[in-house]
Amino acid sequence: METAPTTAYVTERLDHLGIVAAVCREIGLAEFLDAQAADSRQKVSVGTATVAMVLNGLGFSNRRLYLVPQFFENKPVERLVGVPGIEAADLNDDCLGRTLDWLYAHDVTRLFADIALRARRAFGIEPSRVHVDTTSFSVNGKYEAAPATDGGAGGDEETMLAVTYGYSREHRADLKQWMLALATTHEGDVPLFMHPLDGNSSDARTLVAAVEALKEQLRGEGEEEAREAPSFAAAASIYVADAGIYGEENMSRLARAGVAWVSRVPATSTAARLAIDPEESPDWHHSEDGRLRWYTHLVELPQGTERWVVVSSEEGRERTEKTFWRQVAHQQEEWEKTLGRLGNRAFACEADAREALREATKRMPEWLKVQESTLSSRPRYAKGGRPGKNARPASIEWRIKATLGIDLERAEHECERRARYIVGTSVLDPARLSEEELIRIYKGQSGVERGFRFLKDPLFLASSVFVKKPERIVALSFVMVVCLLVYRLAEHRLRKRLAARGQSIPDQTGKPSAKPTMRWVFQFFEGIDVLYVRSLTGVVGRHVLHLRPVHEQVLRLLGPAYQELYDVPF
């Protein structure tokens, strides 16, 4: 008679999820959300379910909500979410749906603000420079029309999200969409504000509303007052946005709210066009490497005095030249076709032909010019065939032939003008914000744009925005940005500590890197398992398998909570 085995071995996949779980614990994500929720008799709390969705979102598995239990089937669920006795089957669509409904009912913008504050305090991040932007997310399917809203980004009242048609950043005008306002810190690109928006929201309205709401948020958290004190005046928060925010009305609003701002100034106004005109002979200032140059204008505008820094870079000039001359060649080709068609037309008199040429070239770019025009006439007779010797023509038919060329002086002038751009600010004192620092801060706007690319990654949770209720889209937007928060926090700490200790880890090509992306770190953590040894009395052993020295290096840099989840000795 065979004896039943008394020992069983079970392997579960840990991969990089221990890092995600450790960040969630360090910022107290589940603890905070559960403290906001009323006493619940549900087996899985709101906080635990939210952590589960973050783990799923950063698992890069593209699992839809109803497949979350499948995602956790081979994972150490208890270890990751920190709840004894929890199983993958407990994280079902009913549980997660209830959580999304709860999140929507409790103002996701306020919830995220509180979580982001806890995160900044835990990770030592100061929001002295803040980047604000919006983007759109396309969805499939029909959605009920929502009540009209003011398109703002900071209202406290609960309104239905309008999933509708609008300007699509994804170039999918055929699909309905919703939008998201996001603010990130300059240091580490860490999100600190989010607000879901109607699909047809305007940047001109939503960006300024987001900045005003964020300033009030930071003031309410006590961070803004601390930096507004005299001893901290040089470090007061500066809000950075793209050209969509710029305009007389918005800048006046920000001035009244006491907001220090940095923005790209569109070259559409007379003042802006004059500022970047190459005819100007300014005193250029140059960066140390010589690849960046700038000059400054103080301009008096209806909204107040602004400092404009006109910028030109080697990279920008090279890029502009390629684009511009390609455009000029295309324009020349198209206008030559237009003039060719004009040459086939007949006119009753010389004046009509010249007027037609003038009208045809009225909208021609100023760097193209008619080099030569030739008029020709031909008699037209009433009868067909060869005219008689003394036959008189019934009319004279006039045609005009024009040849096109490029006005090189004007073209080069326009190319140079396009290679310049204006960064404006309400901070007039260069001692507080130098021109070079101003340019660097504006270029940091790409950080919030990288956040949007992250949220739209096909492997990320965003591809699971299939929920058919606008309320759940609002809640899911919260989960998405919490995923980004967790990702950025881990990346920022790892990079900061690598730099502080003069260390590096191998990148994708095997070369040492002190600025690895967390995506790459997550990739090389793939294949780490947890082996459980179980007997009749329970678990008698646990071993984390396939850990290499580089894994232990990363975990020690991140901190004790991360080492603990991978059983790395302190």
Whether 304 has a pLDDT exceeding 60, the answer reads: yes
Task: Give one DSSP letter per residue of 216-270, joined into a string.
Answer: HHHHHTTHHHHHHSGGGGGG--EEEE-GGG-SHHHHHHHHHTT-EEEEEEPTTSH
**DSSP per-residue string spanning 112-166:** HHHHHHHHHHHHT---SEEEEEEEEEEE-S--PPPPP----S---S------B--
Residue 11: inside a domain, yes or no?
yes
**Beta-bridge mates of residue 370:** 404
Find out whether 67 and 74 touch, Cβ atoms under 8 Å.
no
Same domain, 320 and 291: yes
DSSP one-letter code for 347: B
Q: Give the type of residue at 407.
A: D
Average pLDDT, the chain: 88
Do 492 and 456 share a structural domain? Answer: no
Rounded to whole angstroms, how far apart are CA atoms 189 and 493?
12
**Cα 155 to Cα 46, 109, 216, 316, 499, distances in angstroms:** 24, 9, 11, 39, 41
> Is residue 428 included in any domain, yes or no?
yes
Q: Is the pLDDT score of 240 beyond 60?
A: yes
Q: What is the pLDDT of residues 246-283, one digit of tens each?
A: 999 999 999 999 999 999 999 999 999 999 998 876 78
pLDDT band at 169 (very low <50, low <70, confident <90, very high): confident
Q: Which domain holds residue 121?
A: 108-266+433-467
Q: How large is the average pLDDT for residues 443-458?
A: 89
pTM of structure: 0.86
Residue type, 209: A
Rounded to whole angstroms, how far apart are CA atoms 430 and 295?
Answer: 13
What does the pLDDT look like over 490-545, one tens digit per residue?
Answer: 999 999 999 999 999 999 988 999 999 999 999 999 999 999 888 877 667 889 99
Q: What percent of the chain has pLDDT over 70?
A: 89
The answer to whether residue 230 is domain-embedded is yes
In a domain, 2, yes or no: no
Q: What is the C-alpha to C-alpha distance for residues 145 and 543, in angstroms, rounded to an integer? A: 54
Rounded mean pLDDT, 212-224: 81
Per-state percent for the chain, helix, strand, coil, to nearest 5: 45, 20, 35
Structure tokens at 359: 């009208």
Q: What's the number of domains the chain is made of?
A: 3
Q: Are residues 427 and 437 in the same domain?
A: no
Q: Could you tell me if 58 and 187 lie in one domain?
A: no
As a whole number of angstroms, the distance between CA 92 and CA 44 comes to 10
> Where a domain ends, among 432, 455, 486?
432
- pLDDT for res 467: 66
